Amino acid sequence: MFESLMGRIASRFARGNRGAGQRSSFLGLLSDLPRRNCWTLAEHAGNAAPDGFQHLLSRARWDADAVRDDLRGFVIEHLQDDEAVLGVDENGDFKKGTATVGVQRQYTGTAGRIENSQVAINLACSTPARPRGDRPGTVCSALLDPGHGPLPGRRDTETVRFATKRALAARMFGRALDAGVLVSLGPPV
C-alpha cells in the first residue's frame, strides 16, 4: 500500500526530487521516532547528513496542495468509513528558532502560557485507522497587523493571508467534503 501511495504522489515532485529522498522522508515521518526533524529523519534513513531532507523542504519544487489532495484521495479509496466523524483540533508546537512558518511568542494550550511556538489547526477523521485528512493550517497573530512585515519563516508572503482558526477549519472541511469524504453527523450532543 505504501509503494502504491508513493507512486501516486511521485508526479507532484520535480524530476530530480523523486524517489529515495521522498520515500525516506515519508517513512521517517511515519516512524516511531520520538522527535522528527531533518537530522533524525536522515539518521533514520541511514544518511550521514540531512542535506537531502533540507533540500526537499526548503529548495525543492513540489506541489504540497496536490500531495495533500492525492493523499486524501488515497485515504478515501482505501480507508473510507461512512461512519467516520471529522474533527478539528488546535495544536501548539514549541519551536526553538523562528525560521518555521508562523513561529512567534504566543499563547499555546500545550504549555498553558506564552512560548515560542507554532499553532496549527488540524482536521482529523475519527475512525479506528484515524488518518489525518488535511495538513495543518498555520495561525500567526502577527498577520493581524498589516504593517508587521513578512510572515516569520515564509519567503512567499504575497500568497499568505491571515485567516482565523475558524476560517482555516471551514476551509479544510470544505476541501474534505468537496473531495467526497463521507462522514457521519455523529451522535446528537
Domain boundaries in the chain? Answer: 1-62, 82-184
CB 102, CB 139: distance < 8 Å: yes
Residue 103: the pLDDT is 85
Residue 158: the pLDDT is 53
- Look up residue 63 and give its DSSP letter: -
Q: Would strands 104-108 and 113-126 be described as parallel, antiparallel, or unpaired?
A: antiparallel
**Residue listed under C-alpha cell 521522498:** 22
Residue 101: the pLDDT is 74
3-state secondary structure of 42: helix
Low-confidence ranges of the chain (pLDDT < 70): 15-21, 127-160, 185-189
Output the CA–CA distances (angstroms, integers) from residue 159 to 38, 150, 162, in the order listed.
26, 11, 10
Residue 39: the pLDDT is 92
**Residue listed under C-alpha cell 468537496:** 178
Q: Would strands 132-139 and 113-126 be described as parallel, antiparallel, or unpaired?
A: antiparallel
Residue 141: the pLDDT is 36
Residue 64: the pLDDT is 83
CB 90, CB 120: distance < 8 Å: yes
